[in-house]
Amino acid sequence: MVTENFISYLEVEKRYSQHTLVAYEEDLNQFIGFSEITKDSELKEITHQVIRGWIVQLIESGNTNRTVSRKLSCLRSFFKWLVAEQKIEINPMLRVRAPKVEKRLPNFVKQSEIELADHTELFSSDYDGKRDQLIFELFYQTGIRLSELINLKEKDIQDGRIKVLGKRNKERLIPVSTDLMQLINEYRLIKPNKGDSAEFFLVKFDGRKLSSKFVYRKINNYLGSVSSVQKKSPHVLRHTFATHLLNNGAGLESLKELLGHASLSATQVYTHSSFAQINSIYSQAHPRGRKK
């Protein structure tokens, strides 16, 4: 069906991560099954009532509002693409509202936990250890996404900055600290010269490009050793990067550019975490704010 072409479009032109592609494909197949469509020509018959019926079924099946909203985001992209491709004339999603979702504060690692970590014990002195330490520092010091990290090319890192190709093919430049540049140069000296190493910056010892699962496992193990944070993933380090920058005086507009967000509203979620810290400091330091 045309759904396969849509997924291919997201992968090639929109450069969605593999994780997102799998989720979108599952959501589409689930909706197609609910609407009982068997051929592409029947897509024109889907109305907003059909989609609302699916929403009701999802909620009655125990799905949270957040999960339903994510699935509707997939449909929103799908029907917008169908209109652009002239497969349908009317977009039924224009008359569909997603259920309200309570915003969750991003998980992040405390600055004290990262500063107290003894890297000499956590990372070995061989190639794997040096590379793994660099992976962690790239996440924490640049805030890049997992998909962006594993797709970094050798040519993307030079002159004290990293060129990142993010979502919707949006390119951004991220400055590299002197210490991080030193780690990069040390890694390049021991990097194997085989396999994918000529093109991709981070590779395994046999020269193969890193996979998402490989990096996720490395970061999960590391965070489990240094932090009590509940969720232990590369994205938590992205949240940590953003939160620590704000806590130390960075502006929202600058942070938006560093993170590669399309709008400032996506960046503003981090102000909640920063305000929590400010509120705590106020409660402890101000004579009228001290808790009795």
Q: CA 95, 98, 101 angle in degrees (round to 5)?
A: 160
In this structure, are residues 54 and 32 in contact, taking their beta carbons and an 8 Å threshold? Answer: no
Strands (E), 102-238: 157-158, 161-165, 171-175
Q: Parallel, antiparallel, or unpaired: how do β-strands 157-158 and 171-175 relate?
A: unpaired
- Amino acid present at 286: H
Cα dist from 13 to 81, 113, 169, 209, 244, whole Å: 12, 39, 8, 21, 33
Name the residue type at position 139. F
Q: Which residues are catalytic?
A: 145, 167, 235, 238, 261, 270
Q: Three-state SS for 163?
A: strand
DSSP structural state of residue 157: E
Distance in angstroms (rounded) separating the CA atoms of residues 254 and 268: 12
Going by C-alpha positions, the residue among 105, 193, 183, 170 that lies closest to residue 139 is 183
Residues 254 and 168: beta-carbon distance below 8 Å: no
Those residues with Cβ within 8 angstroms of residue 122's Cβ, 6 or more apart along the chain or in another chain: 133, 222, 225, 226
